[in-house]
Structure 1
Amino acid sequence: MNESPTILSRIKKPADIKLLSIDELEVLAQELRDTIIEEVSGHGGHLAPSLGVIELTLALFKSFDMEEDKLVWDVGHQAYAHKLLTGRADRFHTLRQKDGISGFPRISESPYDHFGVGHSSTSISAALGMAMARDLKGEDNEVIAVIGDGSLTAGMAFEGLNQAGDLGRKMVVVLNDNEMSISRNVGALSQFLSRKMTTPFLQRLKSDVEGLLGTIPKIGDDLAGYAKRYGDSVKSFFTPGMLFEAFHFTYVGPIDGHNTAQMIKVFDEIKQLDKPALVHVMTTKGKGYEPAESDPTHFHGVGKFIPETGLARKFSGSGLPSYTSIFGSTLCNLAERDETIMAITAAMPEGTGTECFRKNFPERFVDVGICEQHAVTFAAGLATQGYKPAVAIYSTFLQRAYDQVVHDVCLQNLNVNFFLDRGGLVGEDGATHHGVFDFSYLRHIPNLVCMAPKDEAELAQMMATAFAYDGPCAMRYPRGTGVGAKVSKTPRKIAIGKGELVREGKDAVIITLGSRVYPALEAAMDLEKEGMDVAVFNTRFIKPLPKKQLLELAADFQKILFVEENALAGGFGSAVLEMFVEEEVLNGHDIKLLGVPDEFIEHGTQTELRAMLGIDSTGMKKVLKEMLN
């Protein structure tokens, strides 16, 4: 006997959801959870955020017309149910895999993805732009932005709220409040939003206020009557409604984000308004899957796991510690001997390896929330007072604070150290998260020292160098594990602007740094077996370049291969060639550059993407063979 088809299998387009009853929506919610857990357990992904908004997604699709209305998700960590309900269920098994569907909403992927996301706090601004465009064109569709309470801590979200309230355009902002970003939220705003104002408390408060006012001679009864008539104002004063009403938004909430029927009713009513409205929805991150509910930070972005237990699947990895963990332990070691070292992260203590610093030096640790611009200028303020702040941040997120790096740190030549995790290709998170532009956007800033370690030991040495240098430094390092180089607890400093010849040769030279040094060595050793003698030079620094050593290499070698895990435009190879041209040393040289071309690189494993771009050892060997005939 054949099993009856699931409700999810019958959903071919969003409009099909409007035909379902509340009971059927509850069944569909469980089917969505089961599907997401099954698929993510097999290849990793953002599990807890997506599980927390399933009922919210269904309520939005039931109430609004997804063929005409515009739905914008903030960040997009939580969009898996949205993907399953918008014609991508048959491709969901390819999520975050090379040539598969993205882990984030993308305009090019689906007509129901109205705005591409991946970084936080953009939804309100984008939705307001859509609302204004709608009004200018004389259309009447709805525009909805869904933003988490973590994303709401960023200044850009409030810039959008401020403008939206001033313009008064009809739009809906859904505040998905689970008291989490990736880690537990920090800051006064998150504390304000998460205050649990229960109905009994509000009733007692209201009764107490009325009783107090009634005791005032002559005018007490009148005041008490006024308070009774306007009792709702007491509630708005003591709940987040006060904040959003100040932005000229109609505030509704908080409501249960897992009560589909209640949310549908609220959304249906909100659609009748002709001004900005904010619906405050309380959800549980990881809802419906006990391991994710118990540890939402771990299951925010998770690798392969066993769905029955939530335990990570065993894999034949190297067993080596990650660069992130080496950074964190080295930072703690250095801080033990230098009380001026401080650590700053933007809502990612676990992701940046600074959790150990928070435990060991809580008074010198600051999590600023999703506020990268503030993090950089805050660090600059600390540096003016003799401290040595370490801003631990993903390469792709430092892009959001570019002006602060230039104006507030480097222009004033302050001793702020930027440690850029996930430098280079990050893998399955794709184009929004690859850290392939930092060489290009940092190397041209005056006063800034910029470097990249080839292994764990050099990472620790560069950290010691940065803290000893009286000025701004930036060091980028890749996602993943190193090569097993031994790390000293008292790492030595490296001479700034000096590289190292890691392999001698006479036929050609590979000039590289960072994550590409060991693959270059592998390529050179393989070519030696075929009779080709290739040298490898690790510049270590992209700024200042090891000028004298590079000029000597240009004199010794006619055939030069530059390799970098960064955009070729304005990157490392470009920097060296600019110097060669200025010094007029190029004379019939055969020069090739390998790196990231002038395009956005999609998702896939790091191994797949490096092979695709030809920056792995195989790609280097291929180019060198062509150069050496």
Structure 2
Amino acid sequence: MKVLPSIKSPRDLRLIKRELLPTLCEELREQIIQTASHNGGHLGSSLGAVEIITALHYVFNTPDDKIVFDTGHQAYAHKLLTGRQKEFAKVRTKGGISGFPKRYESEFDTFGVGHASTAISAALGMAIARDQQKSQDRVIAVVGDGCMTGGMAYEAMQNAGLLRTDLLVILNDNQMFISQRVGALGKALTKLLTTKYVQLAEEKATNFLQRFDELGNNAAKLAKRARSILFPGTLFEEMGFRYFGPVNGNDMDAMIDVLENVKNVKGPVILHVVTKKGKGYKPAEDSPTKFHGVGLFDVETGDSLGKSDRISFTQAFSKALLKLAAKDEKINAITAAMPEGTGLDAFRDKYPARYFDVGIAEEHAATFAAGLAANGLKPVVALYSTFAQRCFDQILHDIALQNLPVVFALDRAGIVGEDGPTHHGVFDLSFLREIPQLTIAAPADENELQHLLKTAFDTKAPFILRYPRGAGFNVPMDDKPKALPIGKGAWLKKGKDVTILAIGNRVHPAEKAAEILAEQGIKAGVVNMRFVKPLDTNAIDEALKNSQYIVTVEDNVLAGGFGSAVAEYLADKQANFRLLRLGYPDAFVEHGKSALLYAQYDLDAQHQADKILSWLKEK
């Protein structure tokens, strides 16, 4: 008889016999693997964290005690244990539950996440709120080792060490970053030092030694340092945390025992837990990077399903960068812990001395690139659009203000699909367009991407190149990248009734929309604008000569985006015009397959045509 169906909430979990927990963990893994194979998602990290999550809900009184996840891509077991088993089959699908913790979804989702290195800050805020409200609940932050490469985590830790409030941080070391040390001695020492008797004795000894002025204080420091020799937590201890670990995070008994021992320790505590990413599913264990975030796959073999044969925008960027770097040794590439996702893994393997992975530190990546540029190199910073938000000040202050030639390759710009609002890159045109001295370009397809990358390096000024996730449009690829004129688009079709000004990956759907309109007797012109900044005002002026009816189409929010730039130009010109802007409204876009979202927001070819036809009929 299965255990998981009987768990409607953690209250049920805490009632079952402890010896059933390993069986429950097996069932959780089975459910996660099966669902991810159909829906895609973050598999490896969720499999590795099953015992941690189960033990936390077993030992702590959630939801009164609060668990805060960092990034949230490890929280599938959490969703299954907190009343969402029926809904889990539709996780990440349109209308279904999110792949990340969301406050609106459950009282057990105490903080909404999706970006890394935020959990300790949020948990500390909750702990201070608890203290002021004189509550007795506990606050636990669950962070991955990768998240500890982000500076925000250390800002939070130094603040927690100063405030000295009760806070437990679980450092989930999945052997992808921090070195492991889980042997018999380490396990025995961790168990010994987390017992309340040893903790009390240590506290009394320290207090006693500190009574004897400098000699006693020196002795206390020496004892602390001696303890650090056996434990890799010196940095955390110096920041004011009590460090325990490492402990085997996939050993349920060990996790429960240690959590029971540390949950009443006063002040900030960090528990170092080592887990195996992809635990329980051999393909994921063997290829943890591949199975970090997956599409559809065959459970038996681990092979991907439904992959497009078309080259992706990411692959086009990767190949173009290699071509350009082969002829220019000044080109350097920087990523923030996403070499495979941004396509820089090929550059890393070919030019390791010119490749830099700075960890989850987008702010540092930007200013580091500024330093390279200031000394004569040609850096490209490859980020997901949603993470470029994190280095806005560095782009403005350290790069644009000094007019330094740093290229930003913003992958996953626009809708990204099932990862949802934390990962949709639909804001970059808006928050970057306001910065002086930036050039902002968006290729219509994978071939144009390589030409705009060449343009970016030749510009010798700050340059933003944004492009979407997924397969391109299967256009023929030119042999060599060539520079394109800055601020100049291309007319694809002339029309006397209406002109569609399209940017980026909405250009080809706009062409098709014009064909659909032609079947209705509407002659629509189409311009591939290429540049959001500077705008091709000549193309806009020419469009006005053909018709006063102009449509803008963009894979970005309407507020402050490409359409806004066109509207500002037309308004300042005091032109006689009618303008329809197609893009995303002033709201966060939900998760779902990209094709469904494009249709919902009138951005695919058919819905563009329908919307334009309806608008023209209103005249």
Q: CA deviation at 1:132?
A: 0.3
- The aligned amino acid for 1:263 is M
* In the alignment, structure 1 residue 149 sits paired with structure 2 residue 145: yes
Equivalent position to 2:606, from 604, 609, 618: 618
Q: Is the 1:202–1:235 contact (alpha carbons within 8 Å) kept by the matching residues of 2?
A: no
Equivalent residue number for residue 96 of structure 2:
100
Match of 1:425 among 412, 415, 418: 415
User: 2:242 matched to 1:246?
Assistant: no
Q: 1:605 aligns with which of 585, 590, 593?
A: 593
Within the alignment, does 1:33 sit opposite 2:29 as a pair? yes
The change in CA–CA distance for 1:120 and 1:551 in structure 2 (over 3 A counts) is same
Question: What do the CA deviations read for 1:566-595 (whole angstroms, capped 9, x no partner)?
Answer: 01000000011111111221x2x2211110
In structure 2, the residue matched to 1:234 is: 226
Distance apart, 1:615 and its partner CA: 1.0
| SS of corresponding position for 2:316 | helix
Quote the residue 1:506 is aligned against: 496
The reply on whether 1:129 has 2:129 as its aligned counterpart is: no
CA contact (8 A) 1:422 1:479 kept: yes
Contact 1:15 1:67 in 2 (8 A): no
Q: TM-score, normalised to structure 2's length? A: 0.93
Q: Is the 8 A contact 1:512 1:537 kept in 2?
A: yes
- Among residues 584, 595, 600, which one is paired with 1:596 in the alignment? 584
Q: Give the match for residue 344 of structure 1.
A: 334
Matched, 1:296 2:282: no
Tell me, in whole angstroms, the C-alpha distance in 2 between the residues paired with 1:293 and 1:503.
52
Cross-structure match for 2:172? 176
Cα distance in 2 for residues equivalent to 1:144 and 1:460: 46
Q: Distance in 1 between matches of 2:45 and 2:243?
A: 24
Aligned residue identity for 1:275? G
Asked if 1:556 corresponds to 2:537, the answer is no
Distance in 1 of aligned mates of 2:161 and 2:222: 24
The Cα shift of 1:235 comes to 4.4
The alignment of Structure 1 onto Structure 2 pairs a total of residues equal to 590
Between the aligned partners of 2:183 and 2:321, the Cα distance in structure 1 is 41
Deviation at 1:561, TM superposition (A): 1.1
Say if 2:340 is the partner of 1:353: no
Does the residue aligned with 2:31 lie in a helix, a strand or coil?
helix
Is this contact kept in 1: 2:231–2:245, CA < 8 A? Answer: no
Q: Matched residues in 2 for 1:167 and 1:523: separation? A: 59
Distance 2:25 2:184 in 1: 27
- CA deviation profile, 1:512-550 (whole Å, cap 9, x unmatched): 110110000001012212211100011110000011221
- State the secondary structure of the residue aligned to 1:431: coil
Picking from 230, 251, 264, the partner of 1:259 is 251
What root-mean-square deviation, in Å, do the aligned CA atoms of Structure 1 and Structure 2 show?
2.0
Cα shift at 1:62: 1.0
Counting only pairs closer than 5 Å after superposition, residues 379-458 of structure 1 correspond to structure 2 as 379-458=369-448
Report whether the alignment pairs 1:43 with 2:29.
no
Partner of 1:391, secondary structure, is strand
Contact 1:422 1:478 in 2 (8 A): yes
Q: Assess, with a 3 A threshold, how the Cα gap between structure 1 residues 530 and 74 changes in structure 2: closer, same or farther.
A: same
2:166 counterpart SS class: coil
What amino acid is the match of 1:23? E
* Cα offset, 1:21, TM superposition: 2.3
User: What percentage of residue pairs aligned between the two structures are identical?
Assistant: 48
How far, CA to CA, are the matches of 1:33 and 1:310 in structure 2?
15
| Structure 1 counterpart SS, 2:135 | coil
Counterpart residue number, 2:185: 199
* SS of structure 2 residue aligned to 1:106: coil
CA distance in 1, matches of 2:361, 2:110: 25
In structure 1, how many angstroms separate the alpha carbons of the residues matched to 2:562 and 2:364? 29
Within the alignment, does 1:575 sit opposite 2:560 as a pair? no
| Alignment counterpart, residue 12 of structure 1, candidates 8, 15, 23 | 8
- The equivalences for 1:55-94 within 5 A come to 55-94=51-90
Question: Shift of residue 308 of structure 1?
Answer: 1.5
Greater CA deviation, 238-247 or 85-94? 238-247
Query: 1:523, 1:24 → 2: CA distance?
Result: 58
CA 1:613–1:161: 2 relative to 1, 3 Å: same
Q: Contact 1:503–1:536 (CA<8 Å) still a contact in 2? A: yes
Taking the aligned partners of 1:200 and 1:90, their CA distance within structure 2 comes to 40
Q: Are the structure 2 counterparts of residues 197 and 344 from structure 1 closer, same or farther at C-alpha, using a change threshold of 3 Å?
A: farther
TM-score scaled by structure 1? 0.91
Q: For 1:269-319, what per-residue CA distance to the aligned partner results, in whole angstroms no more than 9, with x for missing partners?
A: 212222111110010100111110000000000111111121122x3x641
Aligned partners of 1:256 and 1:282 also within 8 Å: yes
Question: 1:330 Cα shift?
Answer: 0.6
Structure 1 residues 39-94: Cα deviation after superposition (integer angstroms, max 9, x where no partner): 11112111100000111111101110003111000000000000000000011000
CA contact (8 A) 2:567 2:579 kept: no
